[in-house]
Structure 1
Amino acid sequence: MISGVKRLLLFAVIATFGMSGVAQAADGVPGVDVSNWTGDIDWASVASGGGKFAFVQATEGTNYLNPSFDAQYGGAADAGLIRGAYHFAQPHESNGAAQADYFLQNGGNWVADGLTLPGVLDIEDNPYKDKNGKNSCYGLSTADMVTWIKDFTTKYQQATGRHAIIYTTTSWWRTCTGNSGKFAANPLWLARWGGDPGELPKSWKKHTFWQSAEKGTLAGGQNSFNGSESQLKELANPPAKATVSGTAKSRTTYTITVANTGPHPLKDVKISGRTFGGQRVVWARGCKFSGTALKCEVKEVPRNHKVTFTIKTRPSRSKGTVGINVTVGPVKLTLKAR
């Protein structure tokens, strides 16, 4: 802060660039979901029948592994299908982070191979009421269920850079989460058997996947992706994503931060800037500068990492608005103070 009668106006600017959202389409892309109960699968037949993707159960709770997972998951990929793994939640047995860890270690990890969809949290009506004595919500309150889901999805996002897909029904979501609206960032895989998806849970304005039938012409459950095949491929392997922010800390000090908020390393990040208001750059570690111009380069910003540059300037006057215009990829920021 500047002392005396002068007042500093701080401008912090944040912008994001990268992956576009999944657009809706009139006709969905067909796919299937399978588990050990499905048995042996003729994946070539699924592909020739029009199937483009498959979800395969990997885990349940923290003590069940699908014994057919490797064969089913690998078979789907060998047939040219985009595949993803899902975890059947048992919220009464352990916390969400623990079950996310178990899932990640046993088939649920996302890899950038162009064939792998984000992992799925299958959270639905308790099918073991007679065995575990719990109600449809596994004995959890709505607040505790929201916390459980948040713990799972946060752990998964931190580990992979991807938002886990959530599989659920509208009725269960309303009853067991209080129709929470806190999970809009997670793609929705809606389960509703019938001719249309119907009303969605509060968190979502659109579904990404829809399970419309338990059985059909293809092996396993019958599903569709709400978009085009190219958008399905983008969901499996989205572009890099970054958040760029900047702050005018004083008339002579500015910071620019590039944070990798996506699933891939950021490569060859270039930052350019030019001061205004009668000032010149006098210091910027790791950057080249001359007069009013500034250029910085970063070879790589790993996933979940960020890099911050501090720029110091020397104004030619003590009053009036000063600042710097900054460009990082498609993002343009204006940082100013007076």
Structure 2
Amino acid sequence: MKRTLATAALAALGLGGALAAPAQAANGVPGVDVSNWTGEIDWAAVSSGGAKFAFVMATEGTGFRSPTFDAQFEGAAQNGLVRGAYHFAQPHESDGAQQAEHFVQNGGTWHRDGITLPGVLDLEDNPYGNRNGKNNCYDLSAKDMVAWIKDFTATYKKRTGRNAIVYTTTSWWRTCTGDSAAFGANPLWLARWGTDPGEPPKSWRAHTFWQSADKGPLVGGQNYFNGSEDQLRELATAVPEVTFSGRAHSRRTYSVTISNTGPYPVTNIKVSGRAYGGHRVVKAPGCKYSGTAVKCTIAQLGIGRKVRLTFTTNATARGKVGVRFVVGDQPLDLKPR
């Protein structure tokens, strides 16, 4: 008997690609990026100058934490800006997971406060070539660089529930990753100084943020969010993400797996089902069932956790049989082949 598999998602925040709503200004919502080199900042002046968000350098490589991070990060928030932290990657120093952990533990974690953006992985030309002897791609092959980025972003997602933003240039991405198309779920912060952002790398249909200059009327780098101010705050806020899949193992045995892939614990997930084709539910551990109907409630599902529900029917009748489930408000029809 062949097994059949069905998958679906209850909710997902899709800000990694192009944004449909019009921007508030010609280039989008303005913001800045700062680091330890920027020093003390008059955040009230930044806010009154029109900035709505700020990216703040938190860490670099495996051991550096910006001494100005706390003051800059909190100063931005205290003056009404949405803020986010960024990590300057040094891929030759360690694996991606180790640097993601360093970032999360030193300011890069995501806060459920409605004003914190997902953390940023900053990937650009090696600025220390005369010191470390590496090329612009840190002497990694395109295959190894893609693996490194996957290691970092997967670890960050596991630790925070959010997809890290990727900062890069189109030229660096094409040269150092072979123009990988594997990171479309990660919002793009595209660096291209000039009057327009230009073409994005292959992973993305459009940028989410654009760094247009390294200096300008506002402090630090000059940036724009490609959308409205409401969408900017939506990216900071996020929504619960629950995915589910189901499998008909045979005419008598079925399973539904529910996973929490988002940034929040999820409570009170409802799963209901009804067998069809002349058979009844005879076993459903942890659920209530009677005749053809079954109902289950998952009281709480933590970040990164999953639950598998199994169901058994008598399936004595010939012909087409199966179970129609509803997970939350999404249908899932399982039938053996």
Query: What band does the TM-score fall into relative to the shorter chain?
Result: over 0.9
Q: Of the candidates 2, 6, 14, which is equivalent to residue 13 of structure 1?
A: 6
Q: Determine the C-alpha separation between the residues in 1 that align with 2:122 and 2:169.
A: 10
Q: CA deviation at 1:315?
A: 2.6
Aligned to 1:297: 297
Runs of 4+ aligned residues of structure 1 deviating over 3 Å after TM superposition are: none
Q: Determine the C-alpha separation between the residues in 2 that align with 1:88 and 1:72.
A: 17
Is contact 2:14–2:185 with CA below 8 Å preserved after alignment? Answer: no
Q: Determine the C-alpha separation between the residues in 2 that align with 1:323 and 1:36.
A: 61
Aligned to 1:198: 198
Map of 1:137-152 to 2, 5 A cutoff? 137-152=137-152
Q: Determine the C-alpha separation between the residues in 2 that align with 1:181 and 1:193.
A: 23
Secondary structure (helix, strand or coil) at the match of 2:155 reads helix
Task: Tell me the alpha carbon deviations over residues 263-320 of structure 1, each in whole angstroms, 9 at most, x when there is no partner.
Answer: 1111110111111101111111111111111110011110111111111112341x10
Aligned to 2:306: 306
Aligned to 1:330: 329
Aligned to 1:121: 121
Task: Tell me the alpha carbon deviations over residues 2-31 of structure 1, each in whole angstroms, 9 at most, x when there is no partner.
Answer: xxxxxx353211001213323244421111
Is contact 1:244–1:331 with CA below 8 Å preserved after alignment? Answer: no
State, as a whole percentage, how many aligned pairs show the same letter. 62
Task: Tell me the alpha carbon deviations over residues 224-247 of structure 1, each in whole angstroms, 9 at most, x when there is no partner.
Answer: 111112211121121111111111
Q: Is structure 2 residue 207 aligned with structure 1 residue 207?
A: yes
Aligned to 1:55: 55
Secondary structure (helix, strand or coil) at the match of 1:77 reads helix
Task: Tell me the alpha carbon deviations over residues 29-65 of structure 1, each in whole angstroms, 9 at most, x when there is no partner.
Answer: 1111000111111111222222111100001111211
Is contact 2:22–2:228 with CA below 8 Å preserved after alignment? Answer: no
Q: Give unmatched runs, 5+ long, in structure 2.
A: none
Secondary structure (helix, strand or coil) at the match of 1:337 reads coil
Is contact 1:242–1:261 with CA below 8 Å preserved after alignment? Answer: yes
Is contact 1:24–1:226 with CA below 8 Å preserved after alignment? Answer: no
Task: Tell me the alpha carbon deviations over residues 109-149 of structure 1, each in whole angstroms, 9 at most, x when there is no partner.
Answer: 11211111111110101111222222111122222211221
Q: Give unmatched runs, 5+ long, in structure 1.
A: 1-7
Secondary structure (helix, strand or coil) at the match of 2:37 reads helix
Map of 1:152-191 to 2, 5 A cutoff? 152-191=152-191
Q: Determine the C-alpha separation between the residues in 1 that align with 2:63 and 2:309.
A: 47
Secondary structure (helix, strand or coil) at the match of 2:151 reads helix
Calculate the TM-score normalised by the size of structure 1: 0.94
How many aligned positions are there?
330
Q: Determine the C-alpha separation between the residues in 2 that align with 1:39 and 1:29.
A: 24
Task: Tell me the alpha carbon deviations over residues 79-103 of structure 1, each in whole angstroms, 9 at most, x when there is no partner.
Answer: 1111110001111222211111111
